[in-house]
Amino acid sequence: MNWSDSSILVTGGTGSFGRKFAEILLGEYNPRKLTILSRDELKQHEMRTGGFDQDNLRYFIGDVRDVDRLRRAFMDVDIVVHAAALKQVPACEYNPIEAIATNINGSRNVIDAAIDLGVSRTLALSTDKATAPVNLYGATKLVAEKLFVQANAYRGGRDIRFSAVRYGNVVGSRGSVVPLFRDQRRSGTLTITDERMTRFWITLEQGVRFVISCLEMMQGGEVFVPKLPSVDIMSLARVMAPECTHEIIGIRPGEKVHECLVSADESRQAVMLEDRYVILPTHPWWGSSDYSQAEPLPDGFVYSSDRNEMTLSEDELREMIDGGTAGD
């Protein structure tokens, strides 16, 4: 892929992913043009005045709920990264219609605009909560994944590709446990939902670089899953606040004890590469042989945070927290 000759657009581009994506892409790949599309003019202003003001960078006010605006934004765009979403679990539970309007209908609008304007590659960001979802956020992301996979049936003979990336908790992201524990240290007590809880962890930079690599290799229809380490909540509590006591408050509505990135049913159609799993489509339009050398997964394989062979030691966890939240 010739990044220097590509025009790239990121929906939800003023979020934490979009800012890191812009930082890495502009600093290392020098695209012909990078467009940040988001609803919030203040965040765009803050991003621009915060150092994101390069000549090949554009800002576009728009909402993924507005397909006509997307069609205008996607003109002369080669690559779209769809990062816009309502992602706070409690907010989605309380505002289900709004979550559906953005996460599902907005994803359909991105697909329609990309097909209409001939965007070559469109990649959606998903989450481990989309695997056997127990909350509305995860359910909307599962539907969005399905839309992106099946969108390849609409491309006809044109080289238009749609795929998705599914990964775990981003270290230090808004609403995550790291900033919560950091705030609670001052009180001397950490709130623990469940002592058994485990999660997949990834830094923001790792997530961005994984997305870039998926854009380079996608054939259209894959769901890409990185191989990630797991973290258990009690190790995290010991690393962040060894002097604090713990208060067990119980698991919250819509929350799992352990997360899963590849289910047993999905593993039947998934393959393994050195650094990732790839869930392949089973639809008639899928004809890629690029994964013929990849290793199929064993029968009944489940990639869950409690069965993961990769776990972080407390020293590795400390290093990941320090590196993953720098500048937050």
Report, as residue numbers or ranges, the catalytic residues: 129
Q: Which residue in this structure is represented by tokens 């397909």? A: 67
- Secondary structure class of 20 (helix, strand, coil): helix
**Beta strand 295-296 with 303-304: parallel, antiparallel or unpaired?**
unpaired
Instruction: Count how many Cα atoms sit within 13 Å of the Cα of residue 55 in the half-sphere of its side chain.
Output: 2
Shortest CA distance to 100 belongs to which of 112, 92, 90, 110?
A: 92
Q: Which residue in this structure is represented by tokens 């956020």? A: 137
Residues 6 or more apart whose Cβ sits within 8 Å of residue 148: 82, 107, 111, 122, 124, 162, 163, 164
The crossing angle, in degrees rounded to 10, of helices 204-217 and 16-24 is 70
DSSP string for residues in 274-321: SSEEEEPP-STT----TTTTSEEPPTT--EETTT-S-B--HHHHHHHH
CA distance 279 to 78: 24
Quick one: 197 exposed, middle or buried, by C-beta within 10 A (0-12, 13-18, 19+)? buried
Shortest CA distance to 87 belongs to which of 147, 182, 174?
A: 174
Q: Taking the C-alpha atoms of 54, 59, 64 and 69 in order, what is their torsion angle to the nearest 10 degrees?
A: -130
What DSSP state is assigned to residue 101? I
Q: Taking the C-alpha atoms of 22, 125, 227 and 25 in order, what is their torsion angle to the nearest 10 degrees?
A: -10
CA distance 58 to 53: 8
